[in-house]
A = this chain, B = another copy of it.
């Protein structure tokens, strides 16, 4: 059995904690690991690390590799496919089936979102095993979740004829219902939530795509012929750009006659919005969830997430507050889905608070812009032990570096020196330089940039261990 982890999601609904370049799957939500790390760790020992594949986009590649390495997960980092452009799940799972079926077209593939929360690993494995059997027999298998509330944010699955204990033919898929309809579904006992987790044989899903999505199938066929040739990357780029963005649910599952559902009995949340945070962190007696430095005067049913500042709330009911270093969200709980409208508005206005965090992760560590003013910018830079930034140069700025923790090895023109805590150095404009951490503890420096142009794109890279352009 192989796994295909879908890790290209944009995650606008968890803004401002998630950003375009740091979506939900990369976040730690109520646990020691990120959702992506949890998703990969959850598969062992049932699926071998070498059989775990990930599909994502180029912007997230270095972060995903970094997170796998940080969690000690070796194997999947060699199996990362990149979508040239986002095209929803149908093209992604089609591409996955194409590549994962090369050696053995009858390979069984578990398709798993990277940003769901599942707590009971043993139960999850039992469901995977049962699904593998049905998939081998030629079914497209979906995991259904017994609904616990009339949720209007999920699609539902109507159960058909029983196949075996806990597995059924799917009578039909239904799109997100209104509240009354959802309540009827829950009361009837005949409907499950569509979890978005699937298991199938590579050849079976490709055949179903051919039947229901002939255009996508033709594109996949052309990509398949190019695999292993020098044209591979160019053909993938061209074909992927041309296909329609459609979900596998809409494109195939709702149309196929060949779908089985397994009643998944593990606890599950897709963390679809801030409203779901109560499923991760237990609320207090007044129904409030508080993370960080929070003062609450008479609030009920509310969620307070304070990242590094104090949040004080007075008299609120069913309100979500998320306070991050560069953006604060305050949202009525039942409007949590509309956070995506905020993100859309930020795009329209040309702001950048939806793109990156104030602290930007890099493969070598991270940096935080502490302040920007006319002609200057102040950053706090942290370099992991043993890591190094690229050998680089800036045309428009000079840099003062003060080491506040660890030891820096600094290449400054032709000179290489070690700079220790409470020492500083100066990198003049247009001078080739490199910052490394040769030590065993994180290196922290304060960088004061001076210059007339201080954007990140004023960088000429001469040598980069991470092979960035």
Contact = CB atoms under 8 A, between A and B. Distances in A.
A177 to B, nearest CB: 22
B450 A422 contact: yes
Interface stretch (A21-29, A48-56, A94-102, A309-317): A309-317
A163 interface: no
Contacts of A331: 312-316
B404 A450 contact: yes
Interface stretch (A80-88, A107-115, A238-246, A319-327): A319-327
Given A310-B327, A314-B329, A346 B446 contact: no
A405 B373 contact: yes
B326 A330 contact: no
Nearest to A322: B312
A328 B307 CA distance: 11
Interface string A379-412: 0100000000000000000101010110000000
Interface string A413-437: 0000000011010100000000000
B316 A328 contact: no
A76 interface: no
Given A313-B331, A370-B371, 4 more contacts: A312-B342, A313-B329, A321-B328, A373-B404
A306 B329 CA distance: 12
Contacts of A328: 306, 309-312, 321, 323, 328
Interface stretch (A64-72, A146-154, A260-268, A332-340): A332-340
A362 B253 CA distance: 67
Contacts of A332: 314-316
A378 interface: yes
Contacts of A330: 311-314, 316, 319, 321, 330
Most interface-central of A345, A371, A404 (chain B CB within 10 A): A404
Nearest to A336: B314
A318 to B, nearest CB: 10
A370 B378 contact: yes
A424 B400 contact: yes
Given A316-B319, A375-B405, A424 B421 contact: no
B380 A342 contact: no
Most interface-central of A314, A338, A378, A450 (chain B CB within 10 A): A314
Interface in A323-370: 323, 325-332, 334-336, 338-339, 341-342, 345-346, 349, 351, 353, 368, 370
